[in-house]
Amino acid sequence: MTRIMKYKIAVWPNGSLVAAMIALQLAFLPLAAWAAEASSSHYRLEESDFTVGGETASSTNYRTYDALGGSGDASSSSANYRGFPGLVLPMFPGVPGQPSLANTGGQMYNTLDFAVNPDANSSDVNYAIAITPDSWAATYYVQADDTLGSAPVWQTYADWGGAAGERLVNLSYNTTYIIKVKARYGPDSETDYSLPASAATVNPTLSLEIIGKNAGVGIGGATTTVATTANGVTFGNIQSGSINIAAQEVRVSTNATGGYTVSVKQDGDLRKGNGVAIPPVTATNPAPAPWPTGFIDGRFGYHTTDASLCTGNASRFAPADTYARLEIQDYEVACSTGPAASETTGMVYKVEIGPTQPPGHYQNQIIYIATAQY
């Protein structure tokens, strides 16, 4: 605003100077719009206009309506915002509700499930999730890929998985974690944190149990002729030309996220003290085959009931009449690609004696090996 003052001066004959008239004029220049660009390290407004209200203000990057208004003006709105007359206050979201954090089934060693609670906030509010493994001695933040990082990541409730939530990964085992959530609607509207929630991971676990089976049990397309225990398979007396069938069950439990593999091997063929052995079947674990015929000495082999293995031809043992030889190298006979609770696989052992197989007491050791993928 510029103020201009003008005076008219009259001179009387006696030389005295008298202020006959003083005309004061005040000229007000209107609030002008500058075309200069306004900017900071975070924004830039190009050729922006600022008005006295009730008019459109715009630049190449934004457009607002009724940017400033008097107390009597009506509200203004667009598809993305709504403005009110007079002083316009920014939108501040409410503090989020307490989130949820849980160890699914109480068995997970490096993952926990979480869900944000938006409470009454609108769908376009963003949230950041703080997390600590040591009661806030160190603070981390949940990242968009559900790992932990040093900087907060802001996402909407929907992007954090909505009501179903998401699963934190790559956590430390046997550790209690605490999370809390804050909200914002724009960079200058951050709320306080919500109430915290906590849950704990557990130690990695893997258990392998061998279970004996009775005679007369159907398993893997065969019927057992002898009973077994957890520690032994005894075929008893085998007559020439007869087939004896035994079975055990392999039961595995683990919380390993990558699942497990059970493999089997032997310390050598079924043999007597003098080294004479009952020959194994010629088929192998990578390529099992039906039980052989036409031999005159003897044969020994195994079948697994796991019809979906994790290596090679996964369904190679799916047909019931598929047998492989035991070897000194271990081979896969059961597996899972995720955590398992008492998952059971049957192992069928079959031996047949021909007329030329020397009599005697034959034995060997069978070794099961369980490996978890943590």
Which sequence spans correspond to the domains of the chain? 1-89, 97-200, 206-372
CA–CA separation, 196 and 179 (whole Å) = 6
CATH 2.60.40.10 fits 97-200, yes or no: yes
Which residues, in sequence order, are bridge partners of residue 117? 97
The secondary structure of the chain in percent helix, strand, coil, rounded to multiples of 5, reads 0, 35, 60
β 260-266/112-117 pair status: unpaired
Q: What is the mean pLDDT of residues 143-158?
A: 98
Is residue 51 exposed (0-12), middle (13-18) or buried (19+ Cβ within 10 Å)? Answer: middle
pLDDT at 309: 98
The percent of residues above 70 in pLDDT, for the chain, comes to 76
CA–CA separation, 54 and 128 (whole Å) = 37
Mean predicted lDDT score pLDDT of the chain: 83
For the whole model, what pTM was predicted?
0.67
Which structure tokens are listed for 314? 């996964």
Q: What is the mean pLDDT of residues 143-149?
A: 98
The more confident residue out of 61 and 141 is: 141
CA–CA separation, 231 and 346 (whole Å) = 15
Which structure tokens are listed for 13? 């004959």
Q: What is the mean pLDDT of residues 302-329?
A: 97
User: For 334-354, what is each residue's pLDDT tens digit?
Assistant: 999 999 999 999 999 999 999
**Residue 80 banded pLDDT, cuts 50, 70, 90:** low
User: For 225-235, what is each residue's pLDDT tens digit?
Assistant: 999 999 999 99
- The set of residues, in sequence order, having a beta carbon less than 8 Å from that of 293 and lying 6+ positions away, is none
CATH code for the domain defined by 206-372 = 2.60.40
User: For 177-199, what is each residue's pLDDT tens digit?
Assistant: 999 999 999 878 899 999 999 99
Q: Do domains 97-200 and 206-372 have the same CATH topology?
A: yes
Q: What is the mean pLDDT of residues 82-91?
A: 54
